[in-house]
Structure 1
Amino acid sequence: LKPLGFEGGPELVCQSLAEGPFGIESQADVDSVAMPLRKLVEGDNSSAAFVIACYSDPGLQVCREGTDRPVFGIAECGVLTALARAETFGVIAIAQRSIPRHMRYLRQMGLTERLAGERPLNMSVAET
């Protein structure tokens, strides 16, 4: 995130959960990090805002309940930003097994009608 910093701007601090999985690939992974993330947010008395930098937005709502400061999820922000610029959006997933979970999230957001499609990173357009 260093290129996003600027003189006099906010300090950007990246932190990973020590007890989290290597990656978020399943609903179990999402669920396993929700409360540790909330504890991290609740225990932080210096940050003005938080960004959950995982496309699954794990723990987003429970973290929002744990603080009065803004908590952003990159999936929610990315999709809403895309929709502010276009009628439809697409998603590139890291793994095929993540797509059903992403689809559930997009259904919960009421956005599946505007989804152009989702493909795993290692699949070409010709393979679909």
Structure 2
Amino acid sequence: MSKHIYVINPNSLTVVTAAIDQALVPMRFPGGPQIHCVTLAEGPAGIQTQRDVDAVTAPLCIQIARSERDAEERGGTASVFVIACFSDPGLYSARESTRQPVLGIAECGVLTAMTLGQKFGVVSILPASIGRHWRYFAAMGVTARLAGDIAIGLNVAELADQPRTFARLCAAGEQLRDEQGADVLVLGCAGMAAHRAALADHLGMPVVDPTQAAVAMALGQAALR
């Protein structure tokens, strides 16, 4: 029976889903679980407020049920689900809606970062994201390892301007490294995935794409189930 991992983009921007899918190319291998990137059509254009986070919870649970049926139609099983938004929207409700593991990219990205450095910094999209992230990191119990969280002032759709996005990521990363003591960086939006390798080279430090981190964990869980 084939195994399937479903990576759900909870916003409705297919360009973000395409970028996520491209970032996961190195994680696909012959004989391994099939990795499907899915757009939540009912989602907003970006998960940018707490209201956005709350609004996608029910549609996410419905999408998980759809994906489970899709896996069955493919003659396999949905082994793991990944919620590809750094706010981890609907994570706990989603875990209640299925018997399979559900991973949030923020949780996985931070846990991965803490294996690569002592202090992690986060680059967010908008200033309004920062308070929401801090609440989540406090709930995780990891604020002692958090160097800081800096926003680049671009919304999800504006990340499509790659030169401008990369320039702002570099500036924020330099500030987190040089002024706030971060020795590993976490990208605070799934739409930043294309810049991970170049940003790591520019900064001379590890940079974690949280979706790649979550799917790496998903592959391990799928292999062991």
Identity %: 50
Partner of 1:33: 56
Query: What SS is found at the alignment partner of 1:22?
Result: coil
Q: Whose relative contact order is higher, 1 or 2, with alpha carbons under 8 Å and at least 6 apart?
A: 2
Q: Which has the higher strand share?
A: 2
The one of 64, 76, 83 equivalent to 1:52 is: 83
TM-score, L = length of structure 1: 0.91
Structure with the higher helix share, 1 or 2: 2
Distance 1:54 1:65 in 2: 18
Q: How many residue pairs are counted as aligned between the two chains? A: 127
Helix, strand or coil: the match of 2:149?
Answer: strand
1:64 to 90, 95, 107: 95
How far apart, in 1, do the equivalents of 2:28 and 2:54 lie?
A: 32
Q: 2:126 aligns with which of 77, 83, 95?
A: 95
Distance 2:134 2:46 in 1: 18
* C-alpha deviation, 1:117, in angstroms: 0.5
Does residue 13 of structure 1 match 2:36? yes
Give runs of ≥4 in structure 1 deviating > 3 Å: none
> Structure 1: 5+ residue runs without aligned partners?
none
SS at match of 1:48: strand
Partner of 2:25: 2
Q: What is the CA distance between 1:2 and its match in structure 2?
A: 2.4
TM-score under structure 2 length normalisation: 0.53
Q: Aligned partners of 1:41 and 1:65: how far apart in 2?
A: 11
Unpaired runs of 5+ in structure 2? Answer: 1-23, 72-77, 153-167, 181-225
> For residues 60-88 of structure 1, what are the alpha-carbon distances to aligned partners after superposition, in whole Å with 9 as ceiling and x for unaligned?
11101111101111100010111123222
